[in-house]
Structure 1
């Protein structure tokens, strides 16, 4: 199931829109599922201070390499994480690209915007097949746990009974299943959809991967799992339908979709409210108890002082400013999407980049994945 159907035709950017020369440290990177040539997606570079945008990689432009269909998830891959000769790059998942439209993982050159296909999830020669990889996460070397860096991709429809799986992908694009959310080796998931790295004490004690699942748990209101990145062993950290752990969304159709960890190891989860009216919220989760508190209901203010409410929030990122970046696929001018900033201390929300406003650069249509270049 895609987060939104591809219903738009070719999106035209504003006249004179420039392309970014290269990606710099601190740049905010946003994947738009329906921007670019033939609405095949685009990677935007967003200035970390001004919120202005340039289109960096057009997934419908074959002159920039392998083309996409529905790119959505994004992560920054540090140089040498996959080996001494591995350069820094941008990783992007596309749930509808690849053989049989079973998904693909792209690698983007941060100096040119050129793309290569790292792993084709429909190609059995590269390992276990996927169905719809939606998010990606690089994991560094962890002394005593992982001897080499790996890349993880979560697929909500892979695994036993289509209950989701996390794949481990190596430098050659070969895949193995790290954990199968439908098997009986641990608590089962239903729709694992996003990943975050929790480094633990000094990157050792307590190191884990956090996985938001939009449909598991009490009343199907979602859970936050912890997964051992070496063994795949799963545990439930927070059940979003269990009021004994704090905040529960009054909307039973809401779903956790997005998780990040701050530099001080605070955990924040994005909850989408998918029923009539949309909206969403940013929730803080205690890493020890799983208890939840509301940070922001995404009632935001634009530059003119008007209120802009979240409509279809998609993903979170920790910004260099110390604020939380929230991508929203349908907010902003003409419903073309926006990126908000949320102050984790007081929940104050501002419009950072309005993807429907030509005054801030190349126009978007459905901003989804968000990350920051390191």
Structure 2
């Protein structure tokens, strides 16, 4: 039986999860609090960062729902603390809670760039776009100190390897010096996730992510540097953010985005109880309506993981959102096909000591 461990509200300032529920792989199920209760700490719960030496970096997938077949992740866990994050269950594999542990007990992977370099040099490697940020945000706050994403981006630039980045982090602006030249070669695109334009809702739902207005400025800065940007109106939350769909797309278009996408709120595994706890605390008057809409789209369940279904659900409500999206992107000019990133420029750079060809 899952153990719900509520954390004092004052200590959860700028955190998303309400509790530290144990994960499904946690053999030592937490039957009592972990020592947080009763501790006076004006700074709240500190973020802890552990280091991991990766043996491999590129992860492959065969999902028909995804437009890429490989990705890399510089970090495990994410300090942004988005309560809806579908990646939270991945922390359970580490014996950690998908709740507050996911936001506060992070794992950085120094040496990732060296591993990436080695994997790209393999004679068996066949180039295709690498996605970054599909699990946890590569530009979350700890990247400022660890710079793992920047190092990986440097490797991809040296190999002239196509990369598609997804982020909420304003820190992506730091790497314009790498991304802009790659974009000019058709090697880079960035997706900026914009869930709501309401700063109060954003601060509650995504407590350590940049404010919506700041993300719009990120779009503008990237586009001004020649880096194409897709706005990702995701996740759409029925009864909470769905009324903003058109205004989100319009604001992003005005900031320079040239493409758009959307995904419905997903509640896999431990995310569902965490999300419902959050709803009960922050929006108790809307909780029943939000969950009823979600269940209507998933055959009465909180979530249905079937391919072709999990991203957007089914039924009248899901189709209504899809239709609104189609009409809005058509009106705003965000429906145009996006050119694929180039793979034909890929080349393995020489290593120190390699003999260069005379021809």
Larger Rg: 2
Q: TM-score, normalised by structure 2?
A: 0.31
> Larger % of helix: which?
2
Q: Tell me which of the two structures has the higher relative contact order, counting C-alpha pairs closer than 8 angstroms and 6 or more residues apart.
A: 2
TM-score of the two chains, using structure 1 as the length reference: 0.30
